[in-house]
Each structure stands twice: as C-alpha cells, then as structure tokens.
Structure 1
C-alpha cells in the first residue's frame, strides 16, 4: 500500500515537531545536570555525604545519552521523509 504525498508531508510535520521537542528536552536535561552538579558541589563543600546526589548526576547523564540517540533517529526519519516529499536539504 503506497503512502500518499499528503500523508508523508503530515508525517514530516509530526517528526519535525518531535525533533523540536527533543531539542527542548535535551536542553532541559543539560540544565538539570548542571543544577544537580551545583548541588553536589554544595554538599561536598558542606562535608555531606553526596553519593546519592552523584549517582543522580550519572543517571541524568545516561538518560541524556539516550535522548540524544533518540534525537538522531528522529533526524534520520526527517531526512528520509524530506527526500520522500522532495522538500529541503537534510539536517546536519
């Protein structure tokens, strides 16, 4: 079953929205990491046990890696759909 140009165009719009959201989420993720790193430094400066706070930083970074992988997949899909509808050059 062939997919119409209108359907591909809608898919492209949807994927671009997902890419925008992924970019926002990744930016927010970096802000959360930096905030948590500041908290770790404050705990360390106060002589507190910061193992759990450090663990959270590691988990946030691991999550961000997965978000960035997902973003790459979205870009690949956008590029594919752009070729399908012959719109604009691929995102780099």
Structure 2
C-alpha cells in the first residue's frame, strides 16, 4: 500500500517536531549535568562523600549519549522524508 504525499508531509512535520523536542531535551540534559557537577564540587569542598553524586553524573552522561543517538535517527528520518517529498511530481504537491 503506497503512502500518499499528504501522509508523507504529515510524517515529515511530525518528525520535525520530534527533532525540536529532542534538541530541547538534549540542551536540558547538558544543563542538568552541569548542575550535578556543581553539586559534586560542593560536596567535595564540604568534605562529603560524593561517590553517589559522581555516579549520577556518569548516568546522566550515558543517558545523554543515547538521546543524541536517538536525535541522529530522527535527523535521518527527516532527511529521508524530505527527499521523498521533494521528489514527488509537481502535480502531486
């Protein structure tokens, strides 16, 4: 079953919205990491055990790597759909 151009365009717009959200989530993730790193520094400066806080920083970084991988997949999907839409005959647009 072939997908109509209108459906492709809607898919493209949906993926573009997901990309905007992914970018915002990644930016927020970096902010959380910086905040957590600041907290680790404060714990250390106060002579506290910072191991759990350091572990959280590493987990946040690992999560962010996965978010960036997911963003790459979204970009690939956007590019694919954009090519599909761009290659449609003018009469279909």
TM bucket (normalised to shorter chain) is over 0.9
The two structures, once aligned, show a CA RMSD in angstroms of 0.9
Q: Larger relative CO (CA 8 A, sep 6+): 1 or 2?
A: 2
Q: Which runs of 4+ in 1 moved over 6 A?
A: none
Query: Unaligned stretches of 5+ in structure 1?
Result: 88-92
Cα offsets for 1:4-57 (capped at 9, x unmatched): 000000000000000000000000000000000000000000000000000000
Equivalent residue pairs, number: 87
Using the size of structure 1 for normalisation, the TM-score is 0.93
Which structure has the larger Rg over C-alpha atoms? 2
Using the size of structure 2 for normalisation, the TM-score is 0.92
Mapped to 1, the partners of 2:75 and 2:3 lie a distance apart of 20
